[in-house]
Structure 1
């Protein structure tokens, strides 16, 4: 029986809610796997003509809200730049490449396929296994901007709440609000187009604050599916007008003190890395992560998380 064709809007950018589940039993996506999957999403979001609006990576599935731009938005200079990013500056870029990749890199199915295949290869190698990792083909639905979009994004961010993993979305670093809070939206991965244009708000921090308010208020409503946010937590956030203080940000980001393999000044981290990099099985230079909220402090992930 032939598969149903995916809905697309070829004449304008379209927002999709994507859901993909694993084929394995239990919860095969642990912390290290979630970090890797997010790295892969981040990488391909810089190749494809997409904006990442939100995500939640759970133990056996993941959600992604993405805006995909049609073929007409793939201008030659931008395709060429992404081609160099993908294949290197020295690889020739010709007319055939322009035709091929302007279509490929504006295709939702190709975007998700590359993410899933890349992760499958990583997972199988890491766990010394063969075979399928993902289950049935991913689900996707077109989402209207505005009120529908912000509700859908809140639904995604509330996944770890409904699952009873954390009390607040910010406590879960593999969802949008957790990523905003714990990393300061590292590398600009997330667009802050939360469907709130009708509020006429253009200050990024204020947009995130209002979105956080919407998520909290929505999360406190019992929809009959999974756990809800503790009303005491919501009330406490209300009193703070849903702002996150500097001390709160530091507390969220202090996970680096437990998740890092090395932490300290940049020169110190580099010195230690030079002494242990032979254990990584790679000659690549390591990029160190600034610890948000602490001036001059850097971290390197544990060796097991590379």
Structure 2
């Protein structure tokens, strides 16, 4: 029996999560249907645009994403502190960009004169919206439902478009976050739909590479802030150049199936994390095969288990990331 989402997401343990949604029908999410010859490539644009739009609305950052032929991957960072600092007006304006809200919340957002009871109702609604705007389930709902409606309308059919609920994995430490991001960014290369990370359409890695060419980072993605973390703003605590080099090297090995072609142990990221090249290749190329609900190094898994005594995280991933 699937675990309740509330038991899978624990922001006190980690703000990072890997989410996967898969298409339920034979009809493609994107790509080209070999049976009918019909192309669904344009749907990739729907999904990428929706992901980047939601990143501006929610207090949830996008670390990595990849839109594939019948599924999508996304690595999220929940910024709960940011949500708490939003004013009531900002919460309502953000929520109204997704939904109409109520008559009272609309009046409150416009600054209309309202009776005391209406103000109280509007503020209660705003607090509910505040929680939703830092909730992974709501983020994935706002991502998947509009896409399903668009696809069903285009296919002139009704019924489910996605497999049940989305799958999520808690990423407990730096090693699991970096490994999962690399796995997501390399999805098109493993699927043989792209030759290099920078030519992988509708992926976060392509946006990062394109922006890096201009010496900037894409505003829509959670930034890399380098190794000097203490005085930095929120971000991934590695250098962007190190990560791009690591993904490029891993991608070439994954594509050529020549594990000894490049010495990944030379990567500064792997040196800092203490991960061997063999373990890195296994986890970065076969992440889903070797991990389940909770991913991290052994000390992170132990800490998580002590905090969540009823949970049963898969320790197989500990050996891969140790």
TM range (shorter): 0.5 to 0.7
Of the three residues 251, 260, 263, the one matched with 1:219 is 251
Give the paired residue count.
229
> Is the 1:23–1:134 contact (alpha carbons within 8 Å) kept by the matching residues of 2?
yes
Kept in 1, the 8 Å contact 2:14–2:170? The answer is no
Where do 4+ consecutive residues of structure 1 move more than 6 Å?
183-187, 198-202
Structure 1: gaps (5+ residues): 239-306
Distance 1:123 1:187, change over 3 A: farther
Deviations 1:147-199 (A, max 9, x none): 221111111111111111111011012111112234678972111248x6479
- 1:82 corresponds to: 94
Q: Residues 208 and 218 of structure 2 are in contact (CA less than 8 Å); yes or no, is this contact kept in structure 1? A: no
Q: Tell me by how many angstroms 1:76 deviates.
A: 3.9
Aligned to 1:35: 45
The offset of 1:91, in angstroms, is 4.7
Structure 2: runs of 5 or more not aligned: 32-40, 110-121, 267-322
CA distance in 1, matches of 2:20, 2:162: 11
Deviation at 1:71, TM superposition (A): 7.4
Aligned to 2:209: 181
What do the CA deviations read for 1:114-152 (whole angstroms, capped 9, x no partner)?
211011011112222211110132110111342221111
1:219·1:229 contact (CA, 8 Å) conserved in 2? Answer: no
Kindly indicate whether the alpha-carbon contact (under 8 Å) linking 2:29 and 2:71 is maintained by their aligned counterparts in 1.
no
1:24 alignment partner in structure 2: 25
TM-score by length of 2: 0.61
| Corresponding residue to 2:108 among 89, 92, 117 | 92
CA distance in 2, matches of 1:40, 1:197: 31
TM-score, reference length from structure 1: 0.64
Given that 2:92 and 2:129 are in contact with CA atoms closer than 8 Å, whether structure 1 keeps it comes out as no
Deviations 1:71-113 (A, max 9, x none): 7843342424423544589653431222210111121111101
TM-fit CA distance, 1:41 = 1.2
**Match of 2:145?**
117
1:257 aligns with none
CA, structure 1 residues 11+81, in 2 after alignment: closer, same or farther (shift >3 Å)? farther
Q: CA separation of 1:201/1:14 partners in 2, compared to 1, >3 Å: closer, same or farther? A: same
Could you say which residue in structure 1 is the equivalent of 2:77? Answer: 67
